[in-house]
Amino acid sequence: MALDARGPTGEDRASRPHDEGAQQQGEAQARGEAPGQMKDYFRQKVWLTWAVLCALLGAGFYALHLDFGYVGQKLPFLLGLRLSPDGFIQGAVLTVFVTGCSMVCALVVAFLTALGRLSRNPVSFAIATFYASLFRGTPLMVQVLIIYLALPQVGVVLGGLTSGLIALSLNYGAYLAETIRSGLMAVPLGQREAAMALGLPRWVAAWKIVAPQALRSIIPPAGALFVSMLKDSSLVSLMGLWELNFLAQSYARASYHYMEMLLAAAFIYWGLSIVFEVVQQRLERRFGKGVAARGSHAAGPGPGARNV
Partner 1 sequence: MDKTSPPLVSLAQLNKWYGSRQVLRNVSLDVLPHERLIICGASGSGKSTLLRCINGLEPHQSGRVVVDGTELTRAPKALEIVRREVGMVFQSFNLFPHLTALENCTLAPIWVRKMPVEEAHATALKYLDRVHLSARAHQYPSELSGGEQQRVAIARALCMAPKVMLFDEPTSALDPVMIKEVLDIITELAQTGMTMICVTHEMGFARRLADRSCSWMGARSSNRERRMSFS
Binding site for partner 1 (CB under 8 A): 188, 190-191, 193-194, 196-201, 204, 208-209, 212-213, 216, 287, 289-291, 293-294, 297, 304, 306
Phi-psi region of 266 (alpha: psi -120 to 50; beta: other; left: phi over 0): alpha
CA–CA separation, 119 vs 247, rounded Å?
45
Tell me how far, at minimum, the Cβ of 30 lies from partner 1, in Å.
24
Cβ proximity to partner 1, 182 vs 255, nearer residue: 182
- Exposure string (b/e) for 190-213, b if CB count within 10 Å is 16 or more? eebeebeeeebeeeebeeebbbeb
Cβ proximity to partner 1, 59 vs 197, nearer residue: 197
124 contacts: CB under 8 Å, gap ≥ 6: 115, 116
Tell me how far, at minimum, the Cβ of 185 lies from partner 1, in Å.
16
Alpha helices in the chain (DSSP H): 10-30, 35-63, 68-79, 91-118, 122-137, 140-145, 160-185, 189-197, 202-204, 211-232, 244-255, 258-287, 292-299
Cβ proximity to partner 1, 140 vs 283, nearer residue: 283
143 contacts: CB under 8 Å, gap ≥ 6: 135, 167, 170, 171
Tell me how far, at minimum, the Cβ of 22 lies from partner 1, in Å.
15
Cβ proximity to partner 1, 122 vs 190, nearer residue: 190
Cβ proximity to partner 1, 152 vs 290, nearer residue: 290
Tell me how far, at minimum, the Cβ of 291 lies from partner 1, in Å.
6
Residue type, 217: S
Q: At what angle do helices 160-185 and 211-232 cross, to 10 degrees?
A: 150
Cβ proximity to partner 1, 83 vs 298, nearer residue: 298
Tell me how far, at minimum, the Cβ of 285 lies from partner 1, in Å.
13
Tell me how far, at minimum, the Cβ of 190 lies from partner 1, in Å.
4
